[in-house]
Amino acid sequence: MTRIFVSGCYDILHGGHLQFFEEARALGDHLTVSFASEEVLWIHKRRRPSIPDEHKKAMLEGMAVVDDVVIGDGHDEGLDFREHFLRIRPDVLAVTEDDQYAGLKRDLCEQVGARYVVLPKTPPRFAPVSTTSIIRWVQAPTEAPLRVDFAGGWLDVPRFARNGAFIVNLAVSPLVSLRDWPYEKQSGLGGSGAWALLNGRCGIESEIDLGVGWQDPAVIRETGLCVWRSGPRPVLDFKRNGDFLRGRLAILWTGAPHDTPGVVDLPRDYDRIEQSGALAREAVLAADPGQLAAAIDIYHATQLDEGMDPLPEIPGTLARKYCGGGYGGYALYLFEDEPARSAALARHDQLRPVEPHCR
């Protein structure tokens, strides 16, 4: 009989583990699986297991491909299974290509004359996942806000960042979920950031990789009316709940989708954008809608200078601008008060109210 031995945390079992067990078992006649005990996880990873050791052992024993299960409780990092290994004296220790303790495990194999076998990566039968990604998925919210941006946009793009400048934005409701998305897609409201959050991912890295900024996933995760410091990574200057804007905001669908990566390299007036961000920051500090409207107007002027189409004038509006990179998507309107917004909503079918959302 050829005895095979594998070890790992196996904290949240998934299809990748099963595939590894099957490939390891194919090397011989008997497969022993060792998993790190609750105490070992705490000592070396500073976290608790997903389920008690007894339950995990029972689940592994229930797999047809697994012949025996042992619990590694040694305190040597990477070799918590040492005593079991020396007792069982297997013929093969199977590991994955990314094993972090290759040197220690090779030395252990030499003590019992076992072969150290590295299993090559084979095409997965399932979409690859990890324990970390599963935990993020389980912890992901079921709903998320989208966002409107007021001023300072593009200064969240790392290569356009300016020391001492600010970006001001707001998380808004109605909320979205994976099953209910009551907005147009590609609309300039940060939908990709919300989608990443709902799927248990951090959208900041993916947005930066696209060559655009981090403000969408940052404010959607943070919520509230936020002032951010311009820079390569999101740093929150301060935030408010945004209640002084309640009943004053609406968005208008322009009828065309929006593509931020496609317009990121167009020339624009970053000095004036920086000015808009500084003024908007003061407006948020003072909870002053009129001053915020002035900041929005400054930013909107840079959008018109880029060649964006003029937005329709709506009575009762203090200010308006394109959301996100503009050239389509939604436009934001800031109204004098709630009655002015209500009157505008009654006249314009494409206009819809949004409200501040703060967790």
> Is the domain 3-136 a CATH 3.30.160.60 member?
no
pTM: 0.71
Domain spans, the chain: 3-136, 141-356
Q: Are 167 and 225 in contact (CB under 8 A)?
A: no
> Is the domain 141-356 a CATH 1.20.58.410 member?
no
Per-residue pLDDT of the chain (359 residues; tens, 9 = 90+): 999 999 999 988 888 899 999 999 999 999 999 999 999 988 887 778 888 999 999 999 999 999 999 999 998 888 999 999 999 999 999 999 888 899 999 999 999 999 999 998 777 666 766 767 777 777 778 999 999 999 999 999 999 999 999 999 999 999 999 999 999 988 999 998 999 889 888 767 666 666 678 999 999 999 999 999 999 999 999 999 999 999 999 999 999 998 888 888 899 999 999 999 999 999 999 999 999 999 999 999 999 999 999 999 999 999 999 999 999 999 999 999 999 999 999 999 999 999 999 99
Q: Are 247 and 227 in contact (CB under 8 A)?
A: no
Strand spans (E) along 50-163: 68-72, 92-96, 115-119, 144-151
Neighbours of 37 (CB within 10 A): 20
267 burial via Cβ count (<10 Å: 0-12, 13-18, 19+) = exposed
Neighbours of 24 (CB within 10 A): 24
